[in-house]
Chain A
Amino acid sequence: MEFMTTVSRIKKGVFLIGVFLSCAVMLGWADSWEDIRRESAKIKSVSAHFSQEKHLQILSRPIVSKGLFYFQTPDSVRWEYISPIRSVLLMQKGNIRRYTVGSRGLVEDKGGSLESMQIVLQEISRWSTGQFTANENFSASLKGGRGAQIILTPKENGLSSMISRIVITLSPDRPGVIKSVKITETEGNYTLFEFADVQINGKISESLFREVG
């Protein structure tokens, strides 16, 4: 079932995106990696609205998706698309599920793999403690100052065939909050995530990470 392999890759992509964003939102305004580690330690939960703009050379205007994002330490994530396609990724205690609205309603996507889960958990544990520089998948560089940026480039060819680089831009005014994440695949093809209404360390119901509805 070749498509199952693809679904698995898609899921891996979803997981990585979720990991990037969950950990990126945790980042504080910073001039150094030490600042990042210090700020990361203060974050216990994050909730935010997000917009996703997909830019392609084939498009004259981007495909815009909107959704909600929740994160709770140590490893709970809800990454939910509201439009144009409703889809929910739930990750909690090492258990990862993805649901998408289709002709049969909200249905769990089939084809997940244990390998993908392991990747996520590894990434979460590293990034949530600000360990960008020790990441086996990405090399990280930091441009400090107001509106600091973290630039991630893949280390291995497999990942670089999907992503050429990721730029995480921090909020210039609000430590601990990011402004956007830009994931570039190839020239002219990129995805821009922008966050709004970011709440840090608010109370998030545990059921949000367990239940789709």
Chain B
Amino acid sequence: MDQTVLPDIIKRCHQPFVDTPYRFIHAIEVTLPGGGSGTVVGVTVIDTASEMIHSVILTIEGFVLFDAQYGKEMRVNRAVPPFNAKDFAEHLMEDVRLILVTPQGRLSRAGVLEDGSTICRYHRDSKKIVDVIIHQDNSWEIGLYSNSYETIRRVNASSIKNSIPTLVKLTAFDAWDYSLLLSLIRAEPVSTEAIQLHPRESLDGE
């Protein structure tokens, strides 16, 4: 591979991830093994610079089921059972980070697949591998694998609008074994001063 294109490939692999504070509001369709399903609303505010994530899950009717902030430490403001389950908050933040934050760790490989998609492989630690694949139509997928390449999570993002996917599907393959389909309701940048402060502008044209 022409090494001069490597910086462009790596830059393209950063496309899914937010580098400024942002607020996302999604309708989240949850599907569980056995066919159980339900829809909730998710509000996520993320600031990658300060490594702060604030996540709220509420019902369509507006009841807050879960509210937690992750920064230097986890702070759960509200968790209605079973969202108060041990490790739920940590798992949720892991999923949010997988979707929105540039993978941590060593970039071991970067290149172009036969179909023209760009791929970057990160070794997050000694146990986890993250593949980021950007397709030619700018949709993307992220795979989280064990070091034996068993799939742990897969993220597929599509219907890109203003660099933001309006559909994101996360599938879990481990013991939790669920899928989340996130449909974008609203995305807006927020000021750097505080995660809850006012947005500078809206992307949804409301």
A56 B36 Cβ-Cβ under 8 A: no
Q: Which of B37, B40, B185 contacts A107 (CB 8 A)?
A: B37
> Which B residues are in CB contact (< 8 Å) with A57?
196
Residue from A6, A13, A56 with most neighbouring chain B CB atoms (10 Å) = A6
Question: Which of A26-34, A59-67, A124-132, A140-148 lies at the interface?
Answer: A59-67
- Chain A: residues with Cβ within 8 Å of the partner, total of 40
B32 A1 Cβ-Cβ under 8 A: yes
Q: Could you tell me the distance between the alpha carbons of A3 and B136 in the complex, rounded to whole angstroms?
A: 37
**A204 contacts B by Cβ under 8 Å:** no
Q: Which of A3, A63, A189, A191 contacts B82 (CB 8 A)?
A: A3
Q: Could you tell me the distance between the alpha carbons of A45 and B40 in the complex, rounded to whole angstroms?
A: 30
B26-38 toward A: CB 8 Å interface, digit per residue (1/0)? 0101101011111
B39 A87 Cβ-Cβ under 8 A: yes
Q: Please report whether the interface of chain A is mostly helix, strand, loop or mixed according to DSSP.
A: mixed
Q: Which residues, 70 to 114 on A, are CB-close (under 8 Å) to B?
A: 81, 84-85, 87, 100, 102-103, 107, 109-111
**A38 contacts B by Cβ under 8 Å:** no
Q: Which of A3, A17, A109 contacts B32 (CB 8 A)?
A: A3
Q: Could you tell me the distance between the alpha carbons of A81 and B30 in the complex, rounded to whole angstroms?
A: 19
> Which B residues are in CB contact (< 8 Å) with A3?
30, 32, 36, 38, 82, 178
A191 B62 Cβ-Cβ under 8 A: yes
B56 A84 Cβ-Cβ under 8 A: no
> Which A residues are in CB contact (< 8 Å) with B62?
52, 54, 63, 183, 191
A58 B59 Cβ-Cβ under 8 A: no
> Which B residues are in CB contact (< 8 Å) with A5?
81-82
B41 A2 Cβ-Cβ under 8 A: no
Nearest-neighbour CB distance to chain B for A136, whole angstroms, equals: 20
> Which A residues are in CB contact (< 8 Å) with B188?
60
A2 B85 Cβ-Cβ under 8 A: yes
**B54 contacts A by Cβ under 8 Å:** yes
Residue of B nearest to A191 (CB): B62
A56 B30 Cβ-Cβ under 8 A: no
Q: Which residues, 145 to 183 on B, are CB-close (under 8 Å) to A?
A: 178, 181
**A162 contacts B by Cβ under 8 Å:** yes
A60 B56 Cβ-Cβ under 8 A: no
B38 A10 Cβ-Cβ under 8 A: yes
B198 A84 Cβ-Cβ under 8 A: no
> Which A residues are in CB contact (< 8 Å) with B129?
none
Q: Could you tell me the distance between the alpha carbons of A52 and B59 in the complex, rounded to whole angstroms?
A: 12
Residue of B nearest to A162 (CB): B63
Q: Which of B64, B83, B198 contacts A56 (CB 8 A)?
A: B64
> Which A residues are in CB contact (< 8 Å) with B178?
3
Q: Could you tell me the distance between the alpha carbons of A17 and B61 in the complex, rounded to whole angstroms?
A: 8
Q: Could you tell me the distance between the alpha carbons of A186 and B61 in the complex, rounded to whole angstroms?
A: 16
Nearest-neighbour CB distance to chain A for B206, whole angstroms, equals: 8
> Which B residues are in CB contact (< 8 Å) with A103?
29, 181
Q: Could you tell me the distance between the alpha carbons of A54 and B186 in the complex, rounded to whole angstroms?
A: 14
| Given contacts A57-B196, A60-B198, A10 and B40 within 8 Å (CB-CB) | yes
B37 A110 Cβ-Cβ under 8 A: yes
Residue of B nearest to A54 (CB): B62
Nearest-neighbour CB distance to chain A for B128, whole angstroms, equals: 25
- Nearest 5 A-B pairs (CB), nearest first? A2-B82, A191-B62, A102-B29, A54-B62, A7-B38
* 20 CB-based A-B contacts, threshold 8 Å: A2-B85, A5-B82, A6-B82, A9-B65, A9-B80, A13-B61, A14-B59, A58-B54, A59-B23, A60-B197, A60-B199, A63-B62, A84-B185, A85-B41, A102-B37, A107-B37, A110-B36, A162-B63, A162-B80, A186-B78
